[in-house]
């Protein structure tokens, strides 16, 4: 399954570097889920693992949107900081932020629910998603510029 995921992203971008950016963001989201779990004070269990898997999927989706938006803008593809900032602060961020807010808002009833099953799941996914989205807006452009744009400029 992992091989199929990697192959799909590599073929979609036609680049191992872009795919690496996407999957590193997924690993970061996993870390943000663990941070959210530690902040909430709940025990690590199977439900948390399932929640973190969902969190990683949403974070990978957000990173794919950012990388694709950079690829669509010629100046951002070359690593122009103002163009990259315009891409991030434009429609791209609107889609990612709206997805994050609606997901978090949808998890609020589960965060406040009684019991020991859903609150740990919802708090881990919800707060992990907020942290992962924040990190992706800073990390993805930096890594894109470092790995992809510099190489594009060097090629001429």
| Short-list 60, 56, 54, CA closest to 110 | 54
Residue 137 contacts residue 93 (beta carbons within 8 Å): yes
Residue 34 contacts residue 48 (beta carbons within 8 Å): no
Residues in the chain: 156
Specify the pLDDT at position 156.
Answer: 58
Specify the pLDDT at position 124.
Answer: 93
Residue 78 contacts residue 153 (beta carbons within 8 Å): yes
Dig out the tokens for 118 from the structure.
């859903």
Residue 51 contacts residue 121 (beta carbons within 8 Å): yes
Band of the pLDDT at 152, cuts 50, 70, 90?
low
Q: What is the pLDDT of residues 50-70, one digit of tens each?
A: 999 999 999 999 999 999 999
CATH among 3.40.50.1700, 3.40.50.20, 3.40.50.300, 1.20.1640.10 for 2-151: 1.20.1640.10
List CB contacts of 131: < 8 A, sequence separation 6 or more: 32, 35, 36
pTM to 2 decimals? 0.88
Residue 98's Cβ-count burial label (10 Å; 0-12, 13-18, 19+) is exposed
Q: Tokens 């997901």 correspond to what residue?
A: 103
Band of the pLDDT at 121, cuts 50, 70, 90?
very high
């Amino acid at each position: 399954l992992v091989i199929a995921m990697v192959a799909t992203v590599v073929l979609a971008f036609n680049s191992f570097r872009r795919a690496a950016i996407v999957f590193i963001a997924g690993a970061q989201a996993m870390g943000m889920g663990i941070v959210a779990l530690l902040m909430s004070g709940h025990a690590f269990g199977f439900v948390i693992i399932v929640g973190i898997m969902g969190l990683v999927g949403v974070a990978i989706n957000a990173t794919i949107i950012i990388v694709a938006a950079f690829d669509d803008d010629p100046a951002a593809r070359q690593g122009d900081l103002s163009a990259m900032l315009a891409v991030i602060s434009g429609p791209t961020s609107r889609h990612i932020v709206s997805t994050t807010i609606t997901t978090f808002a949808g998890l609020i009833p589960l965060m406040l629910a009684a019991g020991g099953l859903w609150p740990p799941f919802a708090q881990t996914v919800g707060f992990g998603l907020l942290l992962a989205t924040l990190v992706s807006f800073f990390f993805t452009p930096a890594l894109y510029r470092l790995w992809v744009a510099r190489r594009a400029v060097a090629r001429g």
